[in-house]
Structure 1
Amino acid sequence: MTTSSRRRPAYLVIADSLRCKIETQQLKPGERFPTERELVQEYNVARMTVRHALDILQIEGLIDRKRGRTGGTFVRAVPPTLNLTSHEGILLQLRDRGFLTRVEVVALHKAEVLSHMAATFGVEEGTLVWELKGVHYVDDAPISVSKYTIPVQLVPDLDERDLHQPLLETLESCGLKMAHKRDRIVAATARAEEQKLLGVGRSHPLLRFSRVIKQSDGAVMAISEETLRSDIANVEVIVGEDPSPGQVPHLD
């Protein structure tokens, strides 16, 4: 057990460990949870300590406890957590965790850049840009709507590219690699089109990301807006390197 673990109550450390297993799908939704006896043996603690840890997970909505012959403790379906500081987009992060993802293109056309975007791109007003709108699906459920604006001169043949994959992958195949991004995040309610595309009501809680994406030379390669269903995914911010990534604490 680490020094930091010793400073915390054992039931909190166990709860953290089990929560990690659920979030990384080592324990999958619908699966039967390890029994109290199994957890006592795994963590070498008293049964009451295990029960305190399970109480925390139940309060957080991560597990269900059922009584009776068919009872037991089961993992509930929980929204995946997305790292906002990652260079990978939403779909790439989810795909890496084993989710089935796809992109449905809603619209793609050329237009003159809006004046406020021209300043961000460092181009003249009237410059042609691609406007790409799509819906992102995870396990066949719509999770977000995105709109990308990209200068045509950077990707003249975007309409001939595979747009049914994460756009950052497509842009990287064109020689455009993201080196920096800046996000502005606001809580929002669904616009009329978003209600239709995401299958939600007007008052449904959403997160809206306004993003500027730059290449390594500082040139802006894309401006995007992404609207995410907050009931299907959680977000987190991670700063610095984890000194013990993936470590499962053991209690003596």
Structure 2
Amino acid sequence: MPTIHSSDRRGKIPAYIQVAAALRRRIETGDWQPSEKIATLEELEEEFQVARVTVRQAVDLLEREGLVTRQQGRGTFVNATVNDKRWLTLETSWDSVLASIKDNVPKFIKVDAPPAAPRLREGDGVLADKYVFLRSVQLKDNVPYAVANLHIAKSVFDRRREKFLKHTALPILAGMNLKIRHAHQTLVIGTADPEIAELLQVSLSAPTAEVRWVVRDDTDTAIYVADITYRADCVKMSIDFFENAAPAAIARKAA
């Protein structure tokens, strides 16, 4: 089973959060099965080389999440049924994406030397003359779940400056009188580097879901480029391949 050694810990991330992340991972991967008793506080204290109070806080956190239950005199057990804590679905259509993020309130981070322009890849269009860079942390119940790095074409940003500095950018962009011709997102699985680990309060090298958004106008200019890093423990993607398909059409595909 994976452990956390002192050399792996981030100083600004509470130790109990990192221990809880390691224990949570064991439950999610099946190392500890439903209804199985987990290691004792003494065993975890020795394994992670942390104080007893730190281990207790980690187990408390898992209990609040509904992953484990402590039984007096018997120990701590994995719950037989575990709620799906991956509450954030990465949507796969334009309208559903806008609906899912329209009420988000980003916490903006000051960047002393922001990159002047995004790095475009093949198929991402052409660069605008100038960009504005915004960095923010997204939170739910005061817990960070995503870090967003965003470039908006300055000509677009200047038209809704006050709104872009207070709200999530994509719904604002969609509400403007712009000729948007292309919008796509890509997803890759990554790991948390030291900065992301600190901002998302996860352990170093914890799994992440990295989403890249590019929106282009009718001149093929990339007016919105966002790189968003999510905590992998709150994200899921669900795609219905037969959504809105007629029953007969589905039957023909299955034949």
TM-score range, shorter chain: 0.5 to 0.7
Do residues 161 (structure 1) and 168 (structure 2) align?
no
C-alpha spacing 1:133/1:210, structure 2 compared with 1 (3 Å): same
**Residue 128 of structure 1: aligned partner:** 130
Question: Larger deviation: 171-180 or 135-144?
Answer: 171-180
SS of structure 2 residue aligned to 1:236 = coil
SS of structure 2 residue aligned to 1:153 = helix
Which among 90, 97, 102 is matched to residue 105 of structure 2?
102
* Residue type at the aligned position of 1:236: S
User: Where do 1:223-242 residues align within 5 Å?
Assistant: 223-242=225-244
**Structure 1: distance between partners of 2:204 and 2:185:** 24
Q: Which runs of 5+ in 1 are unaligned?
A: 1-57, 68-72, 245-252
* Residue type at the aligned position of 2:199: L
C-alpha spacing 1:122/1:94, structure 2 compared with 1 (3 Å): closer
Deviation at 1:153, TM superposition (A): 1.9
**Structure 2: distance between partners of 1:64 and 1:219:** 50
SS of structure 2 residue aligned to 1:155 = helix
C-alpha spacing 1:63/1:227, structure 2 compared with 1 (3 Å): closer
**Structure 2: distance between partners of 1:90 and 1:228:** 15
Equivalenced residue count is: 177
Question: Larger deviation: 174-183 or 136-145?
Answer: 174-183
Deviation at 1:133, TM superposition (A): 0.9
**Greater share of helix residues, 1 or 2?**
2
User: Where do 1:56-135 residues align within 5 Å?
Assistant: 76=83, 78-88=85-95, 92-93=99-100, 101-107=104-110, 112-113=116-117, 116=120, 120-123=124-127, 127-135=129-137
* Residue type at the aligned position of 1:204: A
Contact 1:85 1:238 in 2 (8 A): no
**Structure 2: distance between partners of 1:217 and 1:240:** 33
SS of structure 2 residue aligned to 1:122 = coil
**Structure 2: distance between partners of 1:90 and 1:134:** 18
**Greater share of strand residues, 1 or 2?**
1
**Structure 1: distance between partners of 2:225 and 2:164:** 19
* Residue type at the aligned position of 1:197: L
Deviation at 1:165, TM superposition (A): 2.5
SS of structure 2 residue aligned to 1:169 = helix
User: Where do 1:1-252 residues align within 5 Å?
Assistant: 76=83, 78-88=85-95, 92-93=99-100, 101-107=104-110, 112-113=116-117, 116=120, 120-123=124-127, 127-157=129-159, 159-176=161-178, 180-215=182-217, 218-242=220-244
TM-score, normalised to structure 1, is 0.54
**Structure 1: distance between partners of 2:213 and 2:235:** 18
Deviations 1:206-235 (A, max 9, x none): 111122123466543211111111111212
C-alpha spacing 1:182/1:131, structure 2 compared with 1 (3 Å): same
Deviations 1:85-108 (A, max 9, x none): 121576842678xxxx43111137
Coordinate RMSD, CA, aligned? 4.2
TM-score, normalised to structure 2, is 0.53
